[in-house]
A and B are shown apart, each in its own frame.
Chain A
Amino acid sequence: MTRARLVLGAFLAFMLVAPLALPEFHVTLLNYIGLYSIVALGLVLLTGVGGLTSFGQAAFVGMGAYTTAYLTTTYGLSPWLTLLIGLALTFVVSLFLGVISLRLSGHYLPLGTIAWGISLYFLFGNMEFLGGYTGISSVPAINLFGVALDSGRKFDYLIWTLALLALLSMHNLLDSRSGRAIRALKGGGLMAESFGVDTARMKIIIFVHAALLASLSGWLYAHLLRFVNPTPFSINAGIEYLFMAVVGGAASVWGAVVGAGILTILKQWLQDLLPKLLGQSGNFEMIVFGVLLVLLLQRAREGVMPLVVRYFPAPRKPLPASVPALPRRVRPAAGAALLELRRVRKAFGGLVAVNDLSFAMTSGEILGLIGPNGAGKTTVFNLVTGVLPAVGGEVHFRGERIDTLSARAIVPRGLARTFQQVHLLPAMSVLENVAIGAHLRGTKGVVSAALRLERGEEAMLLGEAARQLERVGLGTSIHEQAGSLSLGKQRILEIARALCADPVLLLLDEPAAGLRYQEKRALAELLRKLKSEGMSILLVEHDMDFVMQLVDRLVVMDFGEKLAEGLPQEIQTNPVVVEAYLGGVK
Chain B
Amino acid sequence: MNAEIALFLIQDGFTNGAIYALLALALVLVFAVTRVIFIPQGEFVAYGALTLASLQLGKLPGTAWLLLGVGLAVAALELTQALRLGAAQRIPAIIFNYIVLPAALLGLAWWAAPQKPALTLQILLALFLVVPLGPMVYRLAYQPLASASVLVLLIISVAVHFAMTGLGLVFFGAEGSRTPPFSDAQWKLGVLTVSGQSLWVMGASLALIVALLLFFEHTIYGKALRATAINRVGARLVGVSPAMAGKLSFTLAALIGALSGVLIAPITTIYYDSGFLVGLKGFVGAIMGGLVSYPLAAAGALLVGILEAYASFWASAYKEVIVFTLIIPVLLWRSLTTHHIEEDEE
| A binding-site residues for B, Cβ under 8 Å | 47, 51-53, 55, 97, 100-101, 103-108, 110-112, 114-116, 118-119, 122-123, 126, 186-190, 193, 199, 236, 239, 242-243, 246, 278, 280, 282-291, 293-294, 297-298, 301, 423
Contact = CB atoms under 8 A, between A and B. Distances in A.
B166 A287 contact: yes
Interface of B: 37, 140-141, 144-145, 148-152, 154-156, 158-167, 169-170, 173-174, 277, 280, 283-284, 287, 291, 317-318, 320-321, 324-325, 327-328, 331-332, 334-335, 338, 340, 342-346
A511 B145 CA distance: 33
Contacts of B284: 115
Contact of A116 (B277, B283, B324): B324
A421 to B, nearest CB: 10
Contacts of A111: 37, 283, 287, 327
Contact of B163 (A51, A126, A286, A298): A286
11 contacts: A100-B331, A105-B150, A108-B334, A118-B277, A118-B280, A122-B318, A193-B342, A236-B162, A282-B170, A283-B166, A286-B162
B169 A283 contact: yes
B303 to A, nearest CB: 15
B156 A107 contact: no
A290 B166 contact: yes
Nearest to A199: B342
Contact of A298 (B145, B154, B166): B145
B344 A289 contact: no
Contacts of A107: 37, 150-151, 154, 291
B159 A289 contact: yes
Contact of A51 (B37, B165, B338, B345): B345
Given A51-B151, A278-B170, A280-B173, A293 B159 contact: yes
A555 B329 CA distance: 51
Given A104-B334, A108-B331, A239-B158, A294 B152 contact: no
Nearest 8 CB-CB pairs, A to B?
A290-B163, A287-B166, A286-B166, A290-B162, A293-B159, A115-B327, A126-B317, A119-B324
Contact of A123 (B163, B165, B321, B345): B321
Contacts of A282: 166, 169-170, 174
Nearest to B316: A126
B276 to A, nearest CB: 8
Contacts of A108: 287, 331, 334-335
A101 B161 contact: no
Given A100-B335, A115-B284, A239-B158, 13 more contacts: A103-B338, A112-B327, A114-B280, A115-B325, A115-B328, A116-B325, A122-B320, A187-B344, A243-B159, A280-B170, A285-B166, A286-B162, A286-B169
Provide the main secondary structure of the chain A interface. Answer: helix
B151 A291 contact: no
A297 B320 contact: no
Contacts of A193: 342
A55 to B, nearest CB: 7
- Of residues A47, A186, A290, which shows the largest number of chain B Cβ atoms within 10 Å of its Cβ? A290
Nearest to A96: B328
A104 B340 contact: yes
A46 B159 CA distance: 18
A291 B163 CA distance: 6
A97 B327 CA distance: 11
Contacts of B334: 104, 108
Nearest to A289: B162
Contacts of B338: 103-104
A205 to B, nearest CB: 17
A115 B159 contact: no
Contact of B280 (A51, A106, A115, A242): A115
Contacts of B277: 118
Contacts of A104: 331, 334-335, 338, 340
B290 to A, nearest CB: 9
B155 A290 contact: no
A287 B160 CA distance: 9
Contacts of B335: 100-101, 103-104, 108
A53 B159 CA distance: 14
Given A289-B162, A294-B156, A110 B151 contact: yes
Contact of A297 (B37, B150, B152, B331): B152
Nearest to A124: B321
A155 B110 CA distance: 56
